[in-house]
Amino acid sequence: MTTDKQLRQRGERVFPGGMYGHMSTYRLMPEGYPQYFRKADGCRLWDVEDNEYIDYMCSYGPMLLGYNHPLIREAADRQRNQIDIGNGPAEVIVELAEKFISQVSHADWAIFAKNGNDSTTIAMMCARAKAHKSVILVAHGAYHGSQPWTNRTAPGSAQSEHDAFITYRFNDIESLEAAVQRSNGALAGIMVSAFKHDAGKPQQLTDPAFAHRVRELCDKHDAALILDDVRAGLRLSTDTSWSALGVQPDISAWGKAIANGEPLAGVLGSESYRDAMASVFVTGSFWYQAAPMAAAIKTLSIVNENEIPKMLEGLGQKLRDGLYKQAQRHGFGIVQSGPVQMPTIMFEDDKEFTRGKDFCSQLIKEGIYFHPWHNMFLSAAHTDADIDQTLDATDRVLARLS
Amino acid sequence: MTTDKQLRQRGERVFPGGMYGHMSTYRLMPEGYPQYFRKADGCRLWDVEDNEYIDYMCSYGPMLLGYNHPLIREAADRQRNQIDIGNGPAEVIVELAEKFISQVSHADWAIFAKNGNDSTTIAMMCARAKAHKSVILVAHGAYHGSQPWTNRTAPGSAQSEHDAFITYRFNDIESLEAAVQRSNGALAGIMVSAFKHDAGKPQQLTDPAFAHRVRELCDKHDAALILDDVRAGLRLSTDTSWSALGVQPDISAWGKAIANGEPLAGVLGSESYRDAMASVFVTGSFWYQAAPMAAAIKTLSIVNENEIPKMLEGLGQKLRDGLYKQAQRHGFGIVQSGPVQMPTIMFEDDKEFTRGKDFCSQLIKEGIYFHPWHNMFLSAAHTDADIDQTLDATDRVLARLS
C-alpha cells in the first residue's frame, strides 16, 4: 500500500508547494487530514490508507446525491458508449438546456461550460455586452473563481485587470449604493452570491431588503443582476437560491452540483440578455462533452422528483440541533451559520480557528470529515444513521475537549 | 429519429444564436454540415441522422488516438469505479505528473486543470508572480482561449483588462523586439503558439531564428517564455512542439489531446518557476478529477510507445501529397499549410473561402469532415485506407468543381 506520506513526498517534487488550489490539504487543513483518496461511495470517502470517512465536504460541493450514484453513472456511461465529444454537441445538450430552463424560473436560455470559473466569467461578459459598459460590482471578500479578474489580491493578476471592478459589502445597502455611485455611469452588472459564504468567516443569509435593493438598482441602471449560484445551486432550491426571496436575477451562474460530480458548469439567462450573449464568443474544448450533460439531466430529475433541497434541510437541521445541544452540554460556544444544508461550524472567540482545528483533527480520527473554516455540504446520500454516527463522534470529541 | 433540423430549431430557443463558441456549426460552417452528433468511434463520427464521416477535426484536437479507444476507456472506467472526485485528488495525479514531467524536457512540475483557457491563464499568472511585473506579450491574432484577457476585440471584456498585454507579429523579430521595448521594463512573459495557427489564415511554421530570439529576449529581461502547446501538443512531438527547434520554454500550457478527449488540461514549468507557481492560487471544482488523469497516463504511454507524432506525420504527408497531385491534375491552386499532422487546406485567390466552402460542402456529402478555414487534425485512428477513401472523395469533388 502506498501511504499518504509517500504520496505527499512524491507530490512535493512534482507540484509547486506540494499541491495546488483548494485541495491543498497540506497547507490548508489541520493535522491528521489525508491529502489523497482511493475510493468514494455514497456519502463516504476512503483515503489511500483505507481509512473511511463520512464526508461533509462533498468534494467542496459537486457531490449532491452520493458518490458513484448508480443511476447517474448509468446515464453518463450510456452516453459515453455513444458519443462524449465530437465536432459538435450531442442531442443531450438540447434536452439539458430545455430541462434546466423549465426548472429555473428566470431562465430563457443556457450556455454550458466546465467550472464555476467559466460560468461567472461568461455571466460577466454577457452583462457587459448587453450594457456596452464594463463595470461589475462584486462583494468584498466573495469568491467567484480563481481567474485574474476574481483574484484581487493574489499574485498573478495585473492591477489594470481590476480597474473595471468595484466592491461593496454584502447585505449592506449603503455600501452597495455607494459602489453604484462610484461606477459613474459605467455599471454593467452587480454580481451577488447566493448568500455570504466567504471562507474563514461565519456565513450570512441574504437580507431580503438587500436582495430587493440589488434588483432595484439593476433595473434603474439597466445593469444585470448576476447571481453566482455555483456553490449553493440545487442545495437550497430547485430554482435559483434567491427565488425564496422573490428576487429574480438576469443571469445565473451554475457549476459544482449540477451533474453530481461530472464536470459541468452552466449559465442561465433571461430573454433580454439573449442577443447580448449571442454576441460574446466564449468556448472551451470540453464544454460540449455529452456524458456530463446526460448526468446532469438525471441529476435534475432526481433533485426535482425527490425534493432534494427539502430533504437536505431535514438532515442539516438534525445535525445543527444535535451539535447545539452537545455544545451546550459540554460548555462550548458554537457558531453554526448559513443554511443548514451548507453549514459552517465555528467556535466562539476562536479567531485563529485553534479550537476549530482541534475539533476537526479529532473528528477526522473518528472518521468524520468536517472543515474548520469553510462551509460544508450535506448530500442526499447522508442518512439519519450517518448523522447519528456523526453526532456520536462529535459528542465524544467535545467531551474530550471540554 | 430526431433530425438535425429539429434539434437546431429546438436549439434556437434555448441557446443564444442557436449554439455557442467554436461548435456553432450554424454560423461557422458551410451548407450541409451537421450541428449534432450521435456516435463516435475510431476516426469516425455519425450525425444524428446516421450519416457517417471520416473526421479530420478530431473534436478540434482532443481526439488523438481514436474515439472510444478501448484501452483509454478502460483506464478511465477503472478509475471511476474507485474514485473520480473527492476532497483531495487520487494517486493518479502524482503518477500523471511524474510521467508527464519525465516526458517533457523542460518540465520540473505540473498543475492540472480542465481547458486550454485554464492552462494559458495559469501560465500567465505564474510568469507574473515570478517577475513581479505584469506585461505579457501575445502574438497578434493568436488564439489563447476565450477569457476576457485573450478576447481583445470581442464584446464582454473591459478595455483596462487589455492594458497589460502588448502584441507582436509571430515570426517577426523586429516586431517582437519593438513589443519588448514598449513593455518598458514591465515585461513578465512572452506567450508563443507552437506555430502560427490562427484561424482563417494559412498556417506558418515557426522560424527557428524567431524562436531563438524569443528565448534570448526572455533571458535578457528575466521574463518567462510561455509556450501555448494546447492545440499542437502531442501531435508534433512527445516533448514540447518547440523541442525540435532546440528552444525550451519556461512554462508550457497543454490541453486538448493529453487525455484523448477526457477533459483535462495542464501546465508544466521549469524549476526556477516553482516557487512563483506555489504563490499563485488557482483552482477549479473539477481540476482534480481522477478519471481523465487515468486516461492521460494511458494516452501518454500509447503516444510514446507507438511514436504517434511520427505515425501522424506519415498519414498527414500521404494526405498532403495526394491532394497536391489531385489539385495539379484538376488545375487548382491549393494552399496546404502547417505541419502535415495539423493541415490547413485552402485555395489560392479565395479570400472569402468561397471555393473552400464549396469544396467542403461537397466533401461532407461524401462522408469526409474537412474544415474550410481552420487547421484540421490527424489522429492515430486514421488508417492508410481512410486516407485513400478520403483522397477518392477529394478527387471526385475536385473533378466536379473544375
Q: Identify whether B65 is part of a domain.
A: no
B residues 246-305 lying closer than 8 A (beta carbon) to A:
255-256, 261, 263, 265, 269, 274-289
Clarify whether residues A281 and A171 are in a common domain: yes
- B271, three cell numbers: 524549476
Helix (H, G, I), strand (E, B) or coil at B173: helix
Are B283 and A146 contacting, i.e. CB atoms less than 8 angstroms apart? yes
Tell whether A343 is covered by a domain.
Answer: yes
> Do the Cβ atoms of A62 and B23 come within 8 Å?
no
Strands (E), A289-386: 334-337, 344-347, 368-369
pLDDT band at A148 (very low <50, low <70, confident <90, very high): confident
- Tens-digit pLDDT profile for residues B169-219: 999 999 999 999 999 999 999 999 999 999 999 999 999 999 999 999 999
Count of domains forming chain A: 2
Given CA atoms A274, A280, A281, A286 in this order, what sign does their dihedral have? negative
Q: What is the domain range of residue A280?
A: 70-305
Q: Which residues contact B298 (CB under 8 A, 6 or more apart)?
A: B71, B72, B75, B260
Instruction: Give the chain B residue nearest A370 (alpha carbons).
Output: B87
CB contact under 8 A, B80 and A94: no
Indicate whether B155 pLDDT > 90: no
Q: Express each pLDDT in A348-388 by its tens digit.
A: 999 999 999 999 999 999 999 999 999 999 999 999 999 99
- For residue B89, give the nearest of A26, A349, A84 by alpha carbon: A26
Q: Is residue B329 part of a domain?
A: yes
Q: Is some CB atom of chain B closer than 8 A to the CB atom of A79?
A: no
pLDDT-based confidence at A26, cuts 50/70/90? confident
Place of cell 476507456: B73
Which distant-in-sequence residues (6+ apart) come within 8 Å of A309 by Cβ? A234, A235, A236, A237, A238, A303, A341
What is the per-residue pLDDT for A384?
98
Number of helical H runs and strand E runs in chain A: 12, 13
- Using DSSP's 3-state secondary structure scheme, residue B198 falls into coil
Give the distance from residue A242's alpha carbon to the nearest chain B alpha carbon, in angstroms: 22
pLDDT at B78: 98
Cβ contact A369–B87 (<8 Å): yes
CB atoms within 10 A of CB B226: 31
Residues A106 and A158 in one domain: yes
Separation between Cα atoms, residue B111 and residue A211, nearest integer Å: 38
Grade residue A161 by pLDDT with cuts at 50, 70 and 90: confident
Amino acid B350: pLDDT: 96
Same domain, B190 and B116: yes
In this structure, the answer to whether residues A256 and A286 fall within a common structural domain is yes
CA distance A83 to B367: 18
pLDDT above 90 coverage of chain A, percent = 94
The pairing of beta strand B37-41 with beta strand B44-47: antiparallel
Q: What is the pLDDT of residue A317?
A: 98
Residue partners of A181: CB distance under 8 A and separation at least 6: none
What is the per-residue pLDDT for B69? 98
SS (H, E, C) B35-94: CCEEEEEECEEEECCCCEEEECCHHHCCCCCCECCHHHHHHHHHHHHHCCCCCCCECHHH
Predicted local confidence at residue B306, as pLDDT: 97
Q: What is the overall mean pLDDT for chain A?
A: 97
**How do residues B258-303 score in pLDDT, each as one tens digit?**
999 999 999 999 999 999 999 999 999 999 999 999 999 999 999 9
Integer angstrom CA distances of residue A19 from B92, B112, B125, B278, B365: 13, 10, 17, 8, 50
Q: DSSP secondary-structure letter at A69? A: -
Q: For the whole prediction, is pTM greater than 0.95?
A: yes
Residues A288 and A313 in one domain: no
Q: Which residue has the cell 515585461?
A: B187
Average pLDDT over residues A119-140: 97
Q: Find residues 297-356 of chain A whose CB sits inside 8 Å of chain B.
A: none
Using CB atoms, pick whichever of B7, B25, B289 lies closest to residue A263: B289
**A152, pLDDT greater than 80:** no
Query: How many Cβ pairs closer than 8 A exist between chain A and B?
Result: 340
Out of A62, A85, A147, closest to residue B147 by CB: A147
Q: For an interface test with B, which of A150, A286, A374 has the most B Cβ atoms less than 10 Å from its Cβ?
A: A286
**What are B332's three cell numbers?**
487548382
For residue A348, being part of any structural domain is answered with yes
Tell me if residue B255 falls in helix, strand or coil: coil
With cut-offs at 50, 70 and 90, classify the pLDDT of residue A205.
very high
Query: Confidence class of residue B367 from pLDDT cuts 50, 70 and 90?
Result: very high
Strands A368-369 and A52-55: parallel
* Contact between chains at B83 and A67 (C-beta distance less than 8 A): yes
B73 → chain A, closest CA residue = A80
pLDDT at A397: 98
Q: At B106, is the pLDDT very low, low, confident or very high (cuts 50, 70, 90)?
A: very high
Distance of CA B179 to the CA centre of its chain: 25
Nearest residue in chain B measured CA to CA from A272: B16
In a domain, B93, yes or no: yes
> At residue A9, what is the residue type?
Q
Å from A75 to nearest chain B CA?
14
B160 and A160 within 8 Å at the Cβ level: the answer is: yes
Edge-first strand order for the sheet with A44-47 is A37-41, A44-47, A52-55, A368-369
Residues B78-104: pLDDT tens digits? Answer: 999 999 999 999 999 999 999 999 999
Same domain, residue pair A286 and A321? no
The predicted structure's pLDDT at residue B148: 85
Inter-chain CB proximity B98 and A10 less than 8 Å: yes
In chain A, % of residues over pLDDT 70: 100
End of a domain among B278, B305, B332?
B305
Q: What's the gap in Å between the CA of A292 and the closest CA on chain B?
A: 11
Tell me: do B185 and B329 sit in the same domain. Answer: no
Choose, out of B74, B87, B264, the residue to mutate when testing the contact with A (most A CBs < 10 Å). B87
Q: pLDDT band for position A158 (50/70/90)?
A: confident
Same domain, residue pair B254 and B336: no
Q: Is residue B241 part of a domain?
A: yes
Q: Are A89 and A288 in contact (CB under 8 A)?
A: yes
**A233 lies in the same domain as A265:** yes
Contact B98 A19 (CB under 8 A): no
Give B345's DSSP letter.
Answer: E
The answer to whether B64 and B58 are in contact (CB under 8 A) is: yes
How do residues A36-48 score in pLDDT, each as one tens digit? 999 999 999 999 9
Chain A residue numbers with beta carbons less than 8 Å from the beta carbon of B38 are: 82-83, 90-91
Pairing of strands A187-193, A135-139: parallel
What is the separation of C-alpha A50 from the centre of its chain, rounded to a whole number of angstroms?
27
Question: How would residue B252 be classed by pLDDT, with cut points 50, 70 and 90?
Answer: very high
- How far from B251 is each of A271, A390, B213, B226, B311, CA to CA, in Å? 42, 45, 17, 5, 27
CATH (domain of A313): 3.90.1150.10
Q: Which of A291, A95, A241 is nearest to B263 (CA)?
A: A291
Answer yes or no: is B198 within a domain: yes
3-state secondary structure of B135: strand
> Domain end: A249, A282, A305, which one?
A305
- Interface-testing mutation among B14, B60, B289, B369, with chain A (most A C-beta atoms within 10 A): B14
- Domain boundary residue among A305, A334, A360? A305
Per-residue model confidence as pLDDT tens digits over B42-83: 999 999 999 999 999 999 999 999 999 999 999 999 999 999
The answer to ipTM > 0.90 is yes
Average pLDDT for A85-99: 98
pLDDT over threshold 90, residue A186: yes
Looking up residue B115, the CATH number of its domain turns out to be 3.40.640.10
Q: Are residues A312 and A390 in the same domain?
A: yes
- Are A54 and A138 in the same domain? no
pLDDT in tens, A271-294: 999 999 999 999 999 999 999 999
Residue at A65 is within a domain: no
C-alpha cell at B329: 491534375
pLDDT in tens, B327-366: 999 999 999 999 999 999 999 999 999 999 999 999 999 9
Instruction: Name, in order, each residue with C-beta under 8 angstroms of B100's C-beta and a sequence gap of 6 or more.
Output: B107, B110, B258, B266, B268, B296, B300
- Average pLDDT value for chain B: 97
Q: Chain A 1-20, CB below 8 Å of chain B: which residues? A: 2, 7, 10-11, 13-17, 19-20
CB contact under 8 A, B20 and A111: yes
Q: A73 and B83 in contact by Cβ < 8 A?
A: no
Query: Phi and psi (nearest 5°) for A42?
Result: 60, -125
Q: Mark yes or no for CB contact A22/B283 under 8 Å.
A: yes
A193-202 exposure pattern, b = at least 16 Cβ within 10 A, e = fewer? bbbbbbeeeb
pLDDT at residue B161, as a whole number? 85
Rounded CA separation B8/B194 (Å): 35
Q: Are residues B140 and B263 in the same domain?
A: yes
Strand residues in A147-186 grouped as ranges (E): 165-168
